[in-house]
Amino acid sequence: MFYYNVNYWSHEDSQKFILTHPKSFTQEEFNELVSDCYVEAYLQHINSEEYLEQKEFETQFPEIYYDDDYESICFYELLNFVVEILKTKFNFTEINPEISFTVFGWSSVNKDDWSDDSNKSNKLVRDKINNIKNR
């Protein structure tokens, strides 16, 4: 079994899928496959009823929305479709971890500097670091 990562990132957020497949793909083969899935997902999306309704709505407010040549579709909007295509059409399997450890990345390791920094993982790490510093 071979493991593959499909994800997107931005300065604000990210999403990651870990997939398995019995075949070993080279990076180039996997890139081609996933990029083809993005094209298929894009075509599905622009022909979906939801998208067509949104475009119709946007034409009613030209002063707010971009011109007709602008496609307001981002990569993150297509990623779930891409993963679904990989699973259904190419027999990839998604791995959903049973246990994970997630921290809020913008918070300081030294002090609780976010008003809603209630993440238990952040507190656990912060307490351990502060114990080391206070020795």
For the cut 70, the answer to whether the pLDDT of residue 64 exceeds it is no
For the cut 90, the answer to whether the pLDDT of residue 33 exceeds it is yes
Region(s) of the chain under CATH 3.30.70.2710: 2-95
pTM equals: 0.73
Distance CA 24, CA 129 (A): 41
For the cut 60, the answer to whether the pLDDT of residue 41 exceeds it is yes
Distance CA 93, CA 87 (A): 6
Most confident of 5-14, 31-40, 44-53, 97-106: 31-40
For the cut 70, the answer to whether the pLDDT of residue 73 exceeds it is yes
Average pLDDT of the chain is 85
**pLDDT score recorded for residue 66:** 58
**pLDDT score recorded for residue 111:** 76
Residue recorded with tokens 């809020």: 104
**Do 114 and 104 touch, CB atoms closer than 8 A?**
yes
Q: Does the domain spanning 2-95 belong to CATH 3.30.70.2710?
A: yes
Average pLDDT over residues 44-71: 72
